[in-house]
Chains A and B, each alone.
Chain A
Amino acid sequence: MVLQVTLTLLIALALVVPTGRYLYRVFAGDPALGDRVFLPVERLVYRLIGLKDPGESMGWKDYAAALVLSNAAMALLVYLIFRLQGLFPWNPQRVGGMEPILALNTTVSFLTNTNLQHYGGETTLSYFSQMAGITFLMFTSAASGFAAAIAFLRGITGRPLGNFWADMTRFILRVMLPTSLVMALLLIWQGSPQTLSPFVQATTLEGARQSIAVGPVASLESIKHIGTNGGGFFAANAAHPYENPTPLTNLILILAMLWLPTSLVYTFGLFARNARQGWTFFAAASLLFLVLLGNTLVAESRGNPALHQQGLAGASMEGKEVRFGPAQSALFATVTTAATTGSVNAAHDSLTPMGGFTAMVLMMLNSVFGGKGVGLMNLVTMAMIAVFLVGLMVGRTPEFLRKKLETQEIVLLAIVILLHPLIILAPSAVALVTAAGKASISHAGFHGLSQVIYEYTSAGANNGSEFGGLAGNTPFWNITTGMVMFFGRYFSIIALLAVAGFLAAKKPVPEGPGTLRTDTSLFAGVLVGVIILVGALTFFPVLALGPIAEHLTLVGR
């Protein structure tokens, strides 16, 4: 078990430097692998979209406006596809239009890279919607978040923010399309379907007739993980044998989720012209990741003490696929919540209380690698808060990467760190005291509380994984989670782009022996401490009433 997990993480680690370097080359404008193939295509795209000078940098306001407006246009398009899917081709199951509130929730969910699913893919969406709606947004939402992160990195390292359209084009073309293609082929090889034909009608051994759902699964599945999207083709997500057929595909999915979020931290170091800076942040995030992973692994492999008393020894297998077992399920659950993908290969509702605790904490922190791009932005936000809090203790006003952090930045950073608990705790409180909210909860007590907290945390962190159990497809939940996903995505991106814009405009302060260094093991420790103090302690009371109370009840028996 330890060997499996270690091996997986070592492969992920080996990918960090080459990928991080490639990303830096592509986005810093250095000559990069594949220029000869991609440059002409890029030029063609720029001509098609009327972009005259892709090298012309935007101000933070223009960059943010381009991001928001392009996303708004895509939202409208996809909403119409969902609503009118009955009129479009590639609908062999003759699925009708999605009902309005669910369509809105689904659109926002995929637009914001959340992929919270209040629908079952095989019964609610046509193949056309799966491809033109879901898969399309999986590319663009990941690319939007990544573009924002690249602009943010440029800004905080004193460069112009860059051009949104060029960043989107390059990222989709040079990173997502080639890797998705290769990964889709691997998945098809392992047994994932990729077809437009109708569901297969089979006669079982007992003679019963069964309809087996198929469709363009492999193409969706690959970008779903590379783009840390997480929305399944089928309701059962990556636990479904067509989405994730074998232990090998399980490994590939895990690596795909970790791949870009971890590599981007190294890219950050290159942007900061100091690889150590990247590794420092990498170490801080890794430490939190490993501790929380260990927590889940131990909890899941120990199993449920209540069942042990009934004579059912062994690991917790409730809600897990036999082909993955407790270790691969625990690793998947940790990775999918750390990288805020939201894809699941086991039922999170059935995780042990401590396993569910880990999943929630990772989404609450939202910075332990985190989703594509935005995770790193959150990690850097925490680093800036850390610099501001403890940096004064070296006897200088706070500075981060040679830029002074002053009132205008602190206002925005304070909004960012306030927003995340706000969009989780406030709607949870409403849901727990209103009839409309409570009606969907399937458990009483701590587990019911966990269901609610998990749902909004998943929405707020743009993760999208479901705790199951909660009946999400009601107007109350569709509307509230839709709002949470929306606020969780755009406000922090805009605020942090503004921070990047402000910092880029500032004169750099020369570094010397009197400067607070942010690339040391000491600072990595400070960063972890601040993430725990500021990020985690905020949620301590609610975690105590949910998974912690549940855990203590189980072990206390």
Chain B
Amino acid sequence: MAATGATVKRSIYREALTDSLKKLDPRRQVRNPVMFVVEVGSVLTSVLFVQALLGHGEASPRFVGLVALWLWFTVLFANFAEALAEGRGKAQADSLRRARKDTMAKLLKEPKRDAEHTVVPASKLRQGDVVLVEAGEFIPSDGEVLVGVASVDESAVTGESAPVIRESGGDRSAVTGGTRVLSDWLVIRISANSGETFLDRMIALVEGAKRKKTPNEIALDILLAGFTIIFLLVVATLLPYSIFSVNAMGQGSPVTVTVLVALLVCLIPTTIGGLLSAIGIAGMDRLVRRNVLAMSGRAIEAAGDVDVLLLDKTGTITLGNRQAVAFLPAAGVTEADLASAAQLSSLADETPEGRSIVVLAKEKHGLRGREVQSLHAGFVPFTAQTRMSGVDLPGRQVRKGAADAVRAWLGNDLPDQVKQTVQDIARGGGTPLVVAEGDVAGRRALGVVHLKDIVKGGIRERFGQLRRIGIKTVMITGDNPLTAAAIAAEAGVDDFLAEATPETKLKLIREYQSGGRLVAMTGDGTNDAPALAQADVAVAMNSGTQAAKEAANMIDLDSSPTKLIDIVEIGKQLLITRGALTTFSIANDVAKYFAIIPAAFATVYPQLGVLNVMHLATPQSAILSAVIFNALIIPALIPLALRGVGYRPVAASTLLRDNLLLYGVGGVIAPFLGIKLLDLLLVLLHLT
């Protein structure tokens, strides 16, 4: 759903350009105190420019004009950064808005398919109304399926083109407005008023229209405003100091207002001030690109702080289903015979476990699939009573099932060696399936098939990385503690919760939180809702129920259980980007002082020229170079602000050291080089 293509991109840039002009409106600019100060400075120097043109200027019109021009550019660049970040969201919002066409809805008198209905516009629907949606029609608003089963195309919301099944009851009953019923029909109770639907919220979110500043962003804003006031003070008091010095020394002239404004703008943290909101919007945007919707910016920040990840075993840590990994024959039975019998019993078994037995038999013993019909075999499906499945061949029956079920079928106890095998497998976290056969000679156990949860490839390394950055992983499973412990050990998680229920999950989250930890989890069912509401970062699957989505603060449109780890990394990346650009911005001040101070006081104290370590050509070129560098660094860093700085899962001390070197030390050095180069360029262009 991300807008792509050159034309779309170009239109984003064009729109961002006009937006950055619109944002010059002081009423909007004042929301960003740092850039507001720059705008005031721009106006002031522009007035001074006019004064200079009229011949009463404090410096040459060209100098004052150039300073004023670059101050305006500074504001515009910052506005452009924000507009660009917003623009990328807007493009996505537009594609969403196309899905929110004003459809007509069939409003039912009572929740039955054949009840009387009237046709009303979707926008008139209220919460609690019941509507009928038939094949080919758009679902008018968010709701809960009351009656019916249908396949629904949700690609407008999720970008996933494969249709999904929606039915009444259970965890697949939530439908989203703007999606389309492909087959069959649904009776839906509307759960959101017009303007408050999922799609509406999503549009508002990606557009950034309702974006509230996050807590850390507000705190940083305040500190930056504090710095701005300090530098305002420094610069404002410099005029009296300068006047005193000039009078006392009887030489030179006081520092001009143009130079003071230039110094002020160079010293206040314009780089981070100009990029801060763009960084925040881009962070949200990065989540959206991964098909995650954050319901609040606070949640993204919390994601960076998360210490504990609660991960569902199935789908996140293990592949969806258990698989056969070994045939362990009873005494006097060959492995091939056991494999053959197990395969026979599973040929018609369509469960993933059954299929995995057939696959294993083929891989290990070269047994090819046989036609059940050609064997004149009758399939005995699994039932809750027998808890076994198998085949009946002429004169022979084969069964497989849990140990106690098979023992009941055998009528006598399992051989000790088989019992031992069963126990060993269970202790190792696997599931033992006992295979037995019966013929005229009687019934006997052939051996055991070892079914096992398959831990996803690479997941162990991923957990290792998380551990190194201080994040604890906890596996949540309904398995018994023995099985859970074995899988936990194999997957390398730090802890596990076995035989998990919604209550124990909630309790676990509370326990971690009372120890000061921030907990993230994923959930989809209605019974997950309390735990989701308690967790600090709660990701609901889009396939999940309305209740789960309401309780969560993020929604994963892909419904992928491993998304949680990505979300944490995006959260961290956002914070690192913010910190890196703040550090860079403040470190830049050293060079600017050395450029401007000797220049500003060159007439009264020529000896201060020693501080002109960059050997800038003239006082005017020094000041202009500093101002131009200060302006150009903003667009130069826009890509970094939007993309985010690279994040590697390493310990905090390593991250700090590397980032300090790059953005702190680099932030001190870069402007020395940049200002010197600009100065050379100005000299070359005879602009000094």
* A residues lining the B interface (CB < 8 Å): 385, 388-398, 402, 405-407, 410-411, 413-415, 417-418, 421-422, 425-426, 428-430, 432-433, 438, 444-446, 448-449, 507-510, 512-517, 520, 522, 526, 529, 533-534, 537-538, 540-542, 544-545, 548-549, 552-553, 556
Contacts and interface: CB of A to CB of B under 8 A. Distances in A.
Contact of B578 (A392, A428, A433, A510): A392
A522 B470 contact: no
A396 B572 contact: yes
Contact of A406 (B219, B468, B515, B660): B219
Contacts of A529: 664
B64 interface: no
Interface string B573-590: 101101110110011011
Interface stretch (B387-395, B602-610, B632-640): B602-610
Contacts of B655: 393-395
B590 A513 contact: no
A544 B611 contact: yes
A512 B237 contact: no
A465 to B, nearest CB: 22
Interface stretch (B102-110, B220-228, B370-378): B220-228
B470 A514 contact: yes
Contacts of B301: 397
Contacts of A388: 219-220, 223
Contact of A414 (B222, B231, B605, B647): B222
A254 B215 CA distance: 46
Contacts of A426: 233, 237
Interface stretch (B162-170, B244-252, B680-688): B244-252
B653 interface: yes
Interface residues of B, number: 73
A512 B307 contact: yes
A510 B516 contact: yes
B209 interface: no
Interface string B258-274: 00000000000000000
Contacts of A414: 222-223, 225-226
A432 B245 CA distance: 9
Given A385-B223, A395-B571, A411-B222, 11 more contacts: A390-B659, A395-B647, A425-B234, A428-B241, A432-B240, A514-B469, A522-B653, A526-B660, A545-B605, A549-B245, A549-B605
A396 B305 contact: yes
Contact of A393 (B225, B471, B583, B598): B583
Contacts of B469: 395, 513-514
Main secondary structure of the interface of B (DSSP, over half): helix
B43 interface: no
B470 A445 contact: no
Contacts of A537: 589-590, 593
A405 B248 CA distance: 47
Interface centre among A429, A444, A526 (most CB of B within 10 A): A429
Contacts of A545: 241-242, 245, 601, 605
B489 interface: no
B656 A516 contact: yes
A444 B249 CA distance: 7
Contacts of B664: 390, 526, 529
Interface in B630-674: 647, 651-653, 655-657, 659-660, 663-664
Contact of B237 (A402, A425, A446): A425
A388 B239 CA distance: 32
A533 B587 contact: yes
23 contacts: A392-B575, A393-B659, A395-B652, A396-B572, A396-B652, A406-B215, A406-B219, A407-B219, A410-B223, A418-B233, A425-B233, A425-B237, A432-B241, A433-B244, A510-B515, A514-B469, A517-B652, A537-B593, A541-B238, A541-B241, A549-B608, A552-B608, A552-B610
Contacts of B249: 444-445
B551 to A, nearest CB: 23
For A417, A513, A514, the residue with the greatest tally of chain B CB atoms inside 10 Å of its CB is A514
B222 A548 contact: no
Contacts of A553: 605, 607
B237 A395 contact: no
Interface in B253-307: 301, 304-305, 307
B669 to A, nearest CB: 13
A445 B245 contact: yes
Contacts of B656: 390, 393-394, 516, 522
Nearest to B607: A552
B402 interface: no
Contacts, number: 210
B372 to A, nearest CB: 56
Contacts of B572: 395-396
Contact of A428 (B216, B231, B237): B237
Nearest to B518: A509
B678 interface: no
A448 B468 CA distance: 58
The 8 A-B pairs at the shortest CB distance, nearest first, are namely: A392-B579, A514-B470, A395-B572, A414-B226, A512-B470, A393-B579, A552-B607, A394-B652
B508 interface: no
Contacts of B243: 432-433
A440 to B, nearest CB: 13
A398 B233 CA distance: 27
A433 B244 CA distance: 7
Contact of B307 (A444, A510, A516): A510
A522 B657 CA distance: 7
Contacts of B238: 541-542
Contacts of B583: 389-390, 393
Given A425-B233, A507-B516, A514-B307, A410 B582 contact: no
Contacts of B593: 537, 540-541
Contacts of A548: 608, 611
A432 B242 CA distance: 10
A411 B229 CA distance: 13
Given A393-B656, A395-B647, A428-B237, A407 B307 contact: no
Contacts of A397: 215-216, 301, 304-305, 575
Given A444-B249, A509-B516, A520-B653, A389 B579 contact: yes
B567 to A, nearest CB: 13
Contacts of B471: 514
B35 interface: no
A180 B652 CA distance: 46
A545 B600 CA distance: 11
A221 B467 CA distance: 58
A448 B469 CA distance: 56
Contacts of B589: 533, 537
Given A417-B226, A421-B234, A445 B582 contact: no
Given A418-B226, A510-B516, A394 B576 contact: yes
Contacts of B215: 397, 406-407
Nearest to A444: B248
A8 B652 CA distance: 39
Contacts of A538: 230-231, 234
A508 B517 CA distance: 9
Contacts of A541: 234, 238, 241, 593, 597
B613 interface: no
Contacts of A391: 579
B271 to A, nearest CB: 13
Interface in B151-208: none
B375 to A, nearest CB: 60
Contacts of B663: 393
Contacts of A512: 307, 470
A396 to B, nearest CB: 5
A390, A397, A418, A516 — most chain B CB neighbours (10 Å)? A397
A545 B607 CA distance: 11
Contacts of A413: 223
A300 B608 CA distance: 22
Nearest to A447: B248
A425 B233 CA distance: 7
